Chain A
Amino acid sequence: MTATTQTQGRAPSPMLTFLKQPLVVALILIVALLLLGETLSPGFASAQQILRLLIVAALLGIVAAGQNLVILGGREGIDLSVGGVISLSAIIAGNVMNGADSAIVPAVLACMAAGAFIGLINGMGVTLLRIPPLVMTLGMLGVLQGLLVVVRNGIPSGFAAPGLSRFVTQPFLLGLPGIIWLWVAIGLLMAFMLTRTVYGHRIYAIGSNEQAAYMAGVPVRAMRISLFMLSGVFAAITGICLLGYSGSSFANVGEQYMLASIIAVVFGGTPLSGGKGGYTGTMAGALLLVILQGILTTVHIDESGRQMVFGATLLLLMLFYGRGRAMRG
Chain B
Amino acid sequence: MTTATISTQKPGGGLKRLVERYPFLPALLIALVLLALNGLYQPRSISFIGITGLVKTYLALMMLAIAQTYVVYAGDIDLSVGAIVSLVNVVIVVLMEKMGGSGFSVVAALGVGLLTGLACGIVNGIVVAALRLQAIVATFATSIFFTGLALYVMPVAGTPAPAAFWRTYGGRFFEIPFVFYAAILLAIVLYVLARTRLATQLLAVGDDAQAAFQSGLPVTRIRIQGYALCGLFAALAAFCITGDTASGDPLVGGKMTLFSVAAVVLGGSALSGGFGTVVGSIIGALIIGLINSLVFFVGTPSEWQNLVQGLAILIALMAGVLVGRRARA
Contacts and interface: CB of A to CB of B under 8 A. Distances in A.
Given A146-B306, A302-B155, A323-B133, A129 B322 contact: yes
Interface stretch (B138-146, B168-176, B231-239): B138-146
A328 B209 CA distance: 11
Q: Which residue, A146, A147, A271, A325, has most C-beta atoms of chain B within 10 A?
A: A146
A311 B136 contact: no
Interface string B144-176: 111111111001000000000000000000000
Contacts of B138: 315, 318
A328 B305 CA distance: 51
B325 interface: yes
Given A147-B307, A315-B138, A131 B148 contact: no
Contact of A318 (B141, B145, B149): B141
Interface stretch (B32-40, B44-52, B102-110, B313-321): B313-321
Interface residues of B, number: 52
A307 B213 contact: no
A210 to B, nearest CB: 14
The SS class assigned to the A binding surface is helix
Interface stretch (A50-58, A137-145, A166-174): A137-145
Q: Which residue, A130, A262, A311, A329, has most C-beta atoms of chain B within 10 A?
A: A311
Interface in A272-329: 272, 302-312, 314-315, 318-319, 323-329
Contacts of A263: 137, 140-141
B137 A259 contact: yes
B131 A323 contact: yes
A263 B151 CA distance: 23
Contacts of B144: 307, 310-311, 314
A215 interface: no
A236 to B, nearest CB: 19
B140 A303 contact: no
Interface in A129-158: 129-132, 134-136, 138-147, 149-150, 153-154
Given A132-B271, A311-B141, A324-B134, A145 B321 contact: no
Interface in B280-318: 303-311, 313-314, 317-318
Contact of B132 (A80, A138, A259, A323): A323
Interface string B209-223: 110011000011000
Contacts of B309: 142, 146
A263 B262 CA distance: 22
Interface string A112-136: 0000000000000100011110111
A328 B210 CA distance: 8
Contacts of A306: 148
Interface residues of A, number: 53
A225 interface: no
Contact of A146 (B210, B213, B311): B311
B140 A138 contact: no
A307 B141 contact: no
A241 interface: no
A69 interface: no
Contact of B271 (A135, A272, A312): A135
A327 B215 CA distance: 12
Contacts of B150: 304
A139 B148 contact: no
B151 A303 contact: yes
B318 A143 contact: no
A327 B321 contact: no
B318 A129 contact: yes
B310 A144 contact: yes
B135 to A, nearest CB: 9
Interface of B: 77, 79, 127, 131-134, 136-138, 140-152, 155, 209-210, 213-214, 219-220, 258, 261-262, 265, 271-272, 303-311, 313-314, 317-318, 321-322, 325
Closest 4 CB pairs of A and B: A307-B148, A311-B145, A146-B307, A139-B314
Given A262-B140, A263-B137, A319-B133, 14 more contacts: A130-B321, A131-B322, A132-B265, A142-B310, A149-B305, A271-B134, A304-B148, A304-B151, A305-B148, A307-B145, A311-B144, A315-B127, A315-B138, A315-B142
